[in-house]
Chain A
């Protein structure tokens, strides 16, 4: 595997379900990000981790819970979601969160549909 991988690629869940999104980066980076991409809206930064420490939580509802066990893996735990949470969830990584942080490498995303 190379670059940034995400699983699953597609997910349909009911509002009462609990599911997790997984991201893995094979680039030796130290920073990882979760973004939400909705149609016709800019990418929304959700969480930032640098060296496994969360450095930003962009006012994300508590029904989204991130976990970063090491610099290569990032999870997004989902529970009691709302239909408006349906979107493409993108994971990204960068060398760190300063300097070269503009060079972020994205995974292919998980297309989430909440029914």
Chain B
């Protein structure tokens, strides 16, 4: 069983739609949860992170963590064509001293005008 599962898509939505991206995981020791965004021909960039369970909002983006279900989500409101990218979830376990992040495969998102 993979550590982190993420549907690779592709996902295609019209401009203005609400986008929901999800990951599941198996390791209950994960405490830090991140979403990275990767544009074509670029490296991933950190978009949001949350510690433990709960919600975090940043502008049009909301990250949710449900540790009881081992499930994390990223919601994008009022999606824009500039949001078209691959979104990678990543996780880290508590007390990790090796900088190891466990990544999902990434979901390719296209927002069309």
Could you tell me which A residues sit within 8 Å of B by CB distance? Answer: 4, 31, 33, 40-43, 45, 48, 50, 55-56, 90, 92, 94, 96-98, 101-109
Shortest CB distance B90–A (Å): 7
Across-interface contacts of A109 in B (CB, < 8 A): 42-43
The 4 closest A-B pairs by CB, nearest first: A106-B43, A97-B99, A101-B99, A43-B103
Contact B99 A42, beta carbon cutoff 8 Å: no
- With both beta carbons as reference points, the residue of chain B lying nearest to A4 in the complex is identified as B43
A-B interface contact total, Cβ < 8 Å:
69
Contact B32 A56, beta carbon cutoff 8 Å: no
Q: Which B residues, 36 to 71, have Cβ-Cβ distances below 8 Å to chain A? A: 36, 41-46, 49
Q: Could you tell me the distance between the alpha carbons of A31 and B103 in the complex, rounded to whole angstroms?
A: 18
Not counting A43-B103, A103-B49, a sample of 19 additional A-B residue pairs whose C-beta atoms are within 8 angstroms of each other reads A33-B99, A40-B8, A42-B4, A43-B101, A45-B101, A48-B98, A48-B99, A50-B99, A56-B98, A97-B99, A101-B92, A101-B96, A101-B99, A102-B90, A104-B46, A105-B45, A108-B42, A109-B42, A109-B43
Across-interface contacts of B4 in A (CB, < 8 A): 42
User: Would you call B77 an interface residue if the criterion is a C-beta within 8 Å of the partner chain's C-beta atoms?
Assistant: no
Q: Which B residues, 95 to 110, have Cβ-Cβ distances below 8 Å to chain A? A: 96-106
Q: Is the interface of B mostly helix, strand, loop or mixed?
A: loop
Given A102-B32, A106-B44; A41-B105 close (CB under 8 Å): yes
- With both beta carbons as reference points, the residue of chain A lying nearest to B46 in the complex is identified as A103
Across-interface contacts of B74 in A (CB, < 8 A): none
Give how many B residues have a beta carbon under 8 Å from the other chain's beta carbons. 28
- With both beta carbons as reference points, the residue of chain B lying nearest to A90 in the complex is identified as B43
Across-interface contacts of B21 in A (CB, < 8 A): none
Contact B44 A45, beta carbon cutoff 8 Å: no
Q: Could you tell me the distance between the alpha carbons of A43 and B4 in the complex, rounded to whole angstroms?
A: 11
User: Would you call B76 an interface residue if the criterion is a C-beta within 8 Å of the partner chain's C-beta atoms?
Assistant: no
Q: Could you tell me the distance between the alpha carbons of A103 and B51 in the complex, rounded to whole angstroms?
A: 12
Q: Could you tell me the distance between the alpha carbons of A55 and B97 in the complex, rounded to whole angstroms?
A: 9
Shortest CB distance B58–A (Å): 14
